[in-house]
């Protein structure tokens, strides 16, 4: 499988790995049956994502997409973070092999899940803002071939 230099860099040197204590929003997506689980932590100040961390259990592409997704939302407004799509994550990584595209879907969903948690904690229904969160790996196109 051919991975871009950016994918290899983000896999070998992932950015923003870890947890945030007292995070304003935490989102976990994925499914152990697929082999990929992403957990994202957000610190939000005045509508801006001031810090973001992630923990991913999965293949190299899942780690790389998590890392890139955190880079794309760090320092951005909630509105801009919600515009980060799986396509944007893939493009920022200079593409992914077709069998690994589902990993970028999980990255987008992890951002949305963390923001949904943020709004829920504030007593605001997140669905009109964030949209529906799909956590089932079958919705993301994963074939279970990810492997660990």
Lowest mean pLDDT among 5-9, 63-67, 80-84, 139-143: 139-143
Catalytic residue among 34, 59, 142, 146: 34
pLDDT at 7 over 70: yes
Give the model's pLDDT for residue 68: 97
Give the pLDDT confidence of 81-130 residue by residue, as tens digits. 999 998 999 999 999 988 888 787 888 999 999 999 999 999 999 999 99
34 is catalytic: yes
Residue of 78, 39, 43, 71 lying closest to 58 (CA atoms): 39
Give the model's pLDDT for residue 140: 44
pLDDT at 31 over 80: no
Helix or strand holding residue 124 (H, E): none
User: Is residue 108 helix, strand or coil?
Assistant: helix
Give the pLDDT confidence of 32-91 residue by residue, as tens digits. 776 789 999 999 999 999 999 999 998 899 999 999 999 999 999 999 999 999 899 999
Tokens of 139: 């919705």
Q: Cα(first)–Cα(last) distance of the chain, in Å?
A: 15
Task: Using the structure block, give the residue that is written with the tokens 């799986």.
Answer: 86
Catalytic residue among 59, 103, 142, 146: 103
* pTM, 2 dp: 0.88
Ramachandran bin of 44, using left for φ above 0, alpha for ψ from -120 to 50, beta for the remaining angles: beta
What is the set of domains in the chain, with CATH numbers? 5-138 (3.90.1010.10)
Question: Higher confidence at residue 139 or residue 84?
Answer: 84
Residue 71, Cβ density class (10 Å: 0-12 exposed, 13-18 middle, ≥19 buried): middle
Residue of 127, 114, 147, 99 lying closest to 23 (CA atoms): 114
pLDDT bin (cut points 50, 70, 90) of residue 18 is: very high
How many Å separate Cα 148 from the centre of its chain? Answer: 18
103 is catalytic: yes
């Amino acid at each position: 499988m051919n991975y871009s230099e950016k994918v290899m860099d983000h896999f070998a040197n992932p950015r923003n790995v870890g947890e945030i204590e007292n995070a304003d929003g935490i989102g976990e997506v994925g499914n152990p049956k697929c082999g990929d689980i992403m957990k994202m932590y957000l610190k939000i100040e005045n509508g801006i994502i001031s810090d973001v961390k992630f923990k991913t259990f999965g293949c190299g592409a899942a780690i790389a997409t998590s890392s890139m997704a955190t880079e794309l939302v760090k320092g951005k407004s909630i509105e801009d973070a919600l515009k980060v799509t799986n396509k944007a994550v893939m493009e920022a990584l200079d593409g992914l092999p077709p069998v690994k595209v589902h990993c970028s879907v999980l990255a987008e969903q992890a951002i949305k899940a963390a923001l949904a948690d943020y709004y829920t904690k504030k007593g605001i229904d997140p669905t009109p803002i964030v949209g529906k969160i799909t956590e089932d790996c079958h919705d993301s196109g994963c074939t279970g071939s990810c492997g660990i």
